[in-house]
Amino acid sequence: MSVVAWLIVAVVVIVVALVAFVVIRRRSRRGGVIATPSRKGTPGATGRTTGDPKP
């Protein structure tokens, strides 16, 4: 392969790596909505956790 061809491959690889880096970095900045455990130490309005038996 000629030098020009190698250069083109190198540029393509670098661009793909940069794009992947930016996409991953941007995704890692994406937040969410997190339900904190209640101060009583049990989650949920009635203090029951999923799977607990009904009172």
Per CB under 8 A, residues contacting another protein are 22, 25-26, 28-40, 43-52, 54
C-beta of 4 vs 26, nearer to another protein? 26
| 4-10-16 Cα angle (round to 5) | 135
C-beta of 2 vs 36, nearer to another protein? 36
| Residue 43, number of CB atoms within 10 A of its CB | 14
Residue with tokens 């038996």, as numbered in its chain = 53
C-beta of 16 vs 42, nearer to another protein? 42
Q: Write down the least CB distance from residue 44 to another protein, Å.
A: 4
